[in-house]
């Protein structure tokens, strides 16, 4: 078994359909992060955008991303004190942009 598969929970197919490989969905998630495209514009080789989102959300609820980050820190491949914040996810106060306030 590949090392990356140990970190991700096995998936069962739903409604008599076989589950797709975790690698396909992980590559889709990384593609969206790297390119910055919406899930609906993601290349079809990664699967449907909704399926990628559902798997991402399920992994977040199961603590997979936290365990993955902890593993990377233990291996020395990531610094647990370093955090990145994208300005698209953080709202600035209106006055920080130079708006006139009620003074």
Residue 56 · residue 29 · CB < 8 Å: yes
- Count of the separate structural domains present in the chain: 1
Q: Is residue 35 part of a domain?
A: yes
Question: For 87-101, what is the mean pLDDT?
Answer: 61
pLDDT at 84: 63
Helix (H/G/I), strand (E/B), else coil: 89: coil
The tokens of 10 are what? 């096995």
For the segment 6-38, what is each residue's pLDDT rounded down to a tens digit? 566 666 656 655 567 888 999 999 999 888 889
Q: Is residue 67 part of a domain?
A: yes
Residue numbers of the domain that contains 37: 20-82
Residue 59 · residue 9 · CB < 8 Å: yes
Q: Is residue 87 part of a domain?
A: no
For the cut 50, the answer to whether the pLDDT of residue 58 exceeds it is yes
Q: Is residue 54 part of a domain?
A: yes
Q: What percent of the chain lies above the pLDDT cut of 90?
A: 17
Q: Is residue 96 part of a domain?
A: no
Q: Is residue 30 part of a domain?
A: yes
Residue 19 · residue 12 · CB < 8 Å: yes
Question: For 58-81, what is the mean pLDDT?
Answer: 85
For the cut 90, the answer to whether the pLDDT of residue 57 exceeds it is yes
Place of tokens 């004190």: 81
Q: Is residue 1 part of a domain?
A: no
Q: Is residue 6 part of a domain?
A: no
pLDDT band at 98 (very low <50, low <70, confident <90, very high): low
CA gyration radius, the chain: 18
């Amino acid at each position: 078994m590949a090392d990356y598969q140990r970190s991700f929970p096995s998936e069962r197919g739903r409604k008599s359909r076989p589950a797709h490989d975790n690698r396909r969905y992980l590559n889709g998630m990384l593609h969206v992060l790297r390119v910055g495209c919406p899930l609906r514009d993601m290349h079809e080789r990664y699967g449907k955008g909704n399926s990628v989102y559902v798997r991402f959300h399920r992994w977040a609820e199961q603590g997979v991303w936290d365990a993955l980050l902890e593993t990377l820190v233990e291996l020395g491949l990531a610094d647990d004190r370093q955090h990145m914040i994208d300005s698209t996810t953080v709202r600035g106060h209106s006055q920080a942009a130079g708006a006139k306030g009620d003074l």
